[in-house]
Structure 1
Amino acid sequence: MTDTPLSCLTTGHRYLSVSIKQHYQTSIAQLGYQQDPEQERAIDHFQRLYTELLALPSKRGVLNRLLNRSQPSCRGLYLWGGPGRGKTYLMDLFYHHLPTQKKQRLHFHQFMRNVHAELATIGHQKAPLTIIGKRVAQQTQVLCLDEFYVADIGDAMLLAGLLKALFDNNVVLITTSNTTPDNLYRNGLQRDRFLPAIALIKRHTELISMEQGDDFRLQRPPQNNHKRYQLCDEAAAFELMAAQYLRLTGQVFEKKSLSLQINGRPIPLLAEAHDIAWFEFDSLCMTARSSSDYLEIASRYRCVLITHIPLLDEALDNAAIRFIHLIDALYDGKVELITTAAAPPQKLYCGLHHSSSFKRTASRLCEMEHYHYSDN
């Protein structure tokens, strides 16, 4: 497929013969999912956006560029609600249905990682976020970001200027989140500087609530004989994980002093074989780590083993937020995860500050129990 704007495609294109809603109905039938009223309402919004994108003018006139006239754009979508409601599934369905390559789909943390990398290349030029907005717009007409979740003050301080640059260049944003825009970065440092980002999101996207209903991830029992999420004490954890390591690699575990270099910092690991790595929880989450570290791990390995996940109370809030970011990166990277833990996913976090965010993590841990997860 060529790099063709959506508006240049004719009704004879193979994607245009099937509506988004028809595509959704066919997909859930094939996957054996139940129809959900909130999902069907959301699909109607996706269909509206899809139709509007196809109707956009295909060319930007020279006169308009000379006069700096803004071009017509579409209002994007902001899907919010609890975990396991199908937000990511619907966004991905829409993304794959778009008949263009001028689109990009990323996890929010990966997108921000890319932005920081771009900033490093720009140096001391004026208006660096404006430059990045133009660069993104050259390649991307529709930007899909999964899990819009802001915890890092560095990201928070950039987002108002970044979003303005994207919207000024007519990039259409579709994103998912577990919270409304008004609750993003709540209680964060210097939040007043983040408020313009919230205003931009509300102005340029249509807010779609998907908060009612069950978490579909919790409705499916594990479909394998090898449990990926094992409840046990520390004494039993090593024996269980050593057996998993042998099954996956064909190698008997031998204790060695190993470390993984990521972003100039060592991360200790217990074992590594090809694209399989075995870590202890403390190495990944009890010391200073960033989302960038976890994204790098997710890109290097197809299977990650983690032992000794403790109960996460308020004293371990920093470790809990790192664990949230770690699971987001592994989940989005379709990495197979095998763990031993002190409690079931829904009871693993017993603090207060991150209870809402950790619901998503617990839901994803339950889904990652399924062997078909890494194949989808």
Structure 2
Amino acid sequence: MSETLPALYARRVAEDALEPDPAQEEALPAFERIRAELAKPRKGGLFRKPPPPPKGLYLWGGVGRGKSMLMDLFVETLDVPARRVHFHAFMQEVQAGVHAERQKGRDDPIAPVAKRVSDSVTLFAFDEMQITDIADAMIVGRLFEKLFAAGCVVVTTSNRVPDDLYKDGLNRHLFLPFIEVLKENMEVRELTAARDYRLDRLSGTEVYFAPNDARARSEIDAVWQRLSGGQEEALTLSVQGRTLELQRFSNGAARATFYELCGKALGPADYLKLAETVRVLVLEDVPRLGRQNFNEAKRFVTLIDALYEAGTRLIVSAAAEPDYLYIEGAGAFEFERTASRLMEMRSEAWGADEKSGAPKDP
């Protein structure tokens, strides 16, 4: 028999790998119910149907409260085939599969994709479910219906209560039945932990490094190690029919260079999507800005505006302090607001509130 989740959690606390949190402990039975049910024999007899799969779990709550950590611990305890994947990455995979089936002329391209993914695992563990893309919204309802019909169990984390998924989205009325499907097949539970553990990992940490020298690179590496735990993956975001590639992503945090985000033809929609998705951005190698890289500087201003409005935590390595990044040429005056925002975003208090309650300019 595998270790129960409460036992594993208690062991990690005893090993000082975790700090006990009452809200997290209250959520453990919801996970353990699923683990215990899946541990039972599932095969039916000659005249007896197999037992129905256990209800899944939709765990929602504020950023950094430990939802992903609890889900990862839960997956460790399972003895059945399970797949843990970031929700955005999974939907990109599904979109590619649906496109390939359409190319084959399939009348129902979702069915074979759903069968392939449901045949491979008993339980899906999705991290950070959010629906902001119309293409995802139009597919996800039928996809999940087929997963549930195939007996798959779904556990997911989210920063939003189910009723707020795809809020104000285009043709949202077509999406509403999916919310009801979620509620029917998953226990909805809020994780009400008061502390933001992700920000705790940055507590007392310098978050703006200038100049961009060997020390800055070493410090950035150390910060990323704390955020990612040494595990990272690529993430593809769909933006108005285009894709935005994030090569280094882990548990809501992304790491990218200035060139990757500002040296390419990206625009406000790309940066808004990035800010919606990423809770912490590590941005490296910001150069001095001026007439020689005017277009890149304009994109940088747009990026910082999007991150600021979303309340995203920002860690930067740059050629100079904010006030000295852009000191000459067209746009230098306008950059003063960006420099001010960079100064504000480097304070330890930045990002302590929920993203929706991020501070704004007066």
Q: Superposed, which structure 2 residues align to 1:80-119 within 5 Å?
A: 80-100=60-80, 102-119=81-98
Q: Superposed, which structure 2 residues align to 1:55-66 within 5 Å?
A: 55-58=40-43
Counterpart contact for 1:164–1:200, Cα < 8 Å: yes
Which residue does 2:58 correspond to in 1?
78
Counterpart contact for 2:21–2:193, Cα < 8 Å: no
Counterpart contact for 2:35–2:77, Cα < 8 Å: no
* Whole-Å separation in 2 of the counterparts to 1:192 and 1:98: 37
Partner secondary structure for residue 85 of structure 1: coil
* 1:279 aligns with one of 258, 273, 276: 258
Question: Which amino acid in structure 2 is aligned with residue 121 of structure 1?
Answer: A
The answer to whether residue 29 in structure 2 is matched with residue 44 in structure 1 is yes
Distance 1:49 1:118, change over 3 A: same
TM-score, normalisation: structure 1: 0.63
Which residue does 1:172 correspond to in 2?
153
Which residue does 2:121 correspond to in 1?
140
Partner secondary structure for residue 179 of structure 1: coil
Q: Superposed, which structure 2 residues align to 1:219-238 within 5 Å?
A: 219-220=200-201, 227=206, 229-230=207-208
> Following TM superposition, by how much is the alpha carbon of 1:195 offset from its aligned partner in structure 2, in angstroms?
0.6
Question: Which amino acid in structure 1 is aligned with residue 345 of structure 2?
Answer: P
Question: Which amino acid in structure 2 is aligned with residue 162 of structure 1?
Answer: L
* Whole-Å separation in 1 of the counterparts to 2:9 and 2:84: 18
Distance 1:60 1:358, change over 3 A: farther
Deviations 1:196-231 (A, max 9, x none): 11111111110111134221233345587xx4x207
* Whole-Å separation in 2 of the counterparts to 1:349 and 1:175: 24
Counterpart contact for 1:71–1:170, Cα < 8 Å: no
Distance 1:241 1:177, change over 3 A: farther
> Following TM superposition, by how much is the alpha carbon of 1:55 offset from its aligned partner in structure 2, in angstroms?
1.9
Which residue does 2:251 correspond to in 1?
none
The answer to whether residue 133 in structure 2 is matched with residue 152 in structure 1 is yes
Question: Which amino acid in structure 1 is aligned with residue 71 of structure 2?
Answer: M
Which residue does 2:356 correspond to in 1?
356
The answer to whether residue 11 in structure 2 is matched with residue 26 in structure 1 is yes
Partner secondary structure for residue 144 of structure 1: strand
Deviations 1:231-284 (A, max 9, x none): 7xxxxx5x33686359999xxxxxxxxxxxx9999999xxxxxxx963255347
* 1:244 aligns with one of 207, 212, 216: 216
Distance 1:54 1:247, change over 3 A: closer
> Following TM superposition, by how much is the alpha carbon of 1:120 offset from its aligned partner in structure 2, in angstroms?
2.1
Distance 1:22 1:79, change over 3 A: same
* Whole-Å separation in 1 of the counterparts to 2:317 and 2:31: 37
> Following TM superposition, by how much is the alpha carbon of 1:338 offset from its aligned partner in structure 2, in angstroms?
4.7
Counterpart contact for 2:57–2:156, Cα < 8 Å: yes
Counterpart contact for 1:80–1:179, Cα < 8 Å: yes
> Following TM superposition, by how much is the alpha carbon of 1:358 offset from its aligned partner in structure 2, in angstroms?
7.1
Deviations 1:300-323 (A, max 9, x none): xxx96253865878xx559967x9
Deviations 1:114-161 (A, max 9, x none): 101111221231222222221111101100000001111111111111
Counterpart contact for 1:286–1:319, Cα < 8 Å: no
Question: Which amino acid in structure 1 is aligned with residue 73 of structure 2?
Answer: L
Question: Which amino acid in structure 1 is aligned with residue 208 of structure 2?
Answer: Q
Which residue does 1:186 correspond to in 2?
167
* Whole-Å separation in 2 of the counterparts to 1:266 and 1:151: 14
Question: Which amino acid in structure 2 is aligned with residue 143 of structure 1?
Answer: F
Partner secondary structure for residue 207 of structure 1: strand
Question: Which amino acid in structure 2 is aligned with residue 120 of structure 1?
Answer: H
Distance 1:35 1:245, change over 3 A: closer
* Whole-Å separation in 2 of the counterparts to 1:84 and 1:25: 20
Identity of aligned residues (%): 29
* Whole-Å separation in 2 of the counterparts to 1:72 and 1:290: 43
Question: Which amino acid in structure 2 is aligned with residue 107 of structure 1?
Answer: H
Counterpart contact for 2:85–2:127, Cα < 8 Å: yes
Distance 1:283 1:49, change over 3 A: same
Distance 1:153 1:208, change over 3 A: same
Counterpart contact for 1:56–1:72, Cα < 8 Å: no
Which residue does 1:206 correspond to in 2?
187
Counterpart contact for 2:216–2:317, Cα < 8 Å: no
> Following TM superposition, by how much is the alpha carbon of 1:83 offset from its aligned partner in structure 2, in angstroms?
1.1
* Whole-Å separation in 2 of the counterparts to 1:317 and 1:51: 44
Counterpart contact for 1:113–1:292, Cα < 8 Å: no
Q: Which segment drifts farther, 159-168 or 121-130?
A: 121-130
> Following TM superposition, by how much is the alpha carbon of 1:348 offset from its aligned partner in structure 2, in angstroms?
7.3
* Whole-Å separation in 2 of the counterparts to 1:49 and 1:339: 44
Distance 1:57 1:86, change over 3 A: same
TM-score, normalisation: structure 2: 0.65
Q: Any stretches of 5+ residues in structure 2 without a counterpart?
A: 222-236, 246-254, 276-281, 287-296, 319-340
* Whole-Å separation in 2 of the counterparts to 1:43 and 1:349: 25
* Whole-Å separation in 2 of the counterparts to 1:108 and 1:199: 19
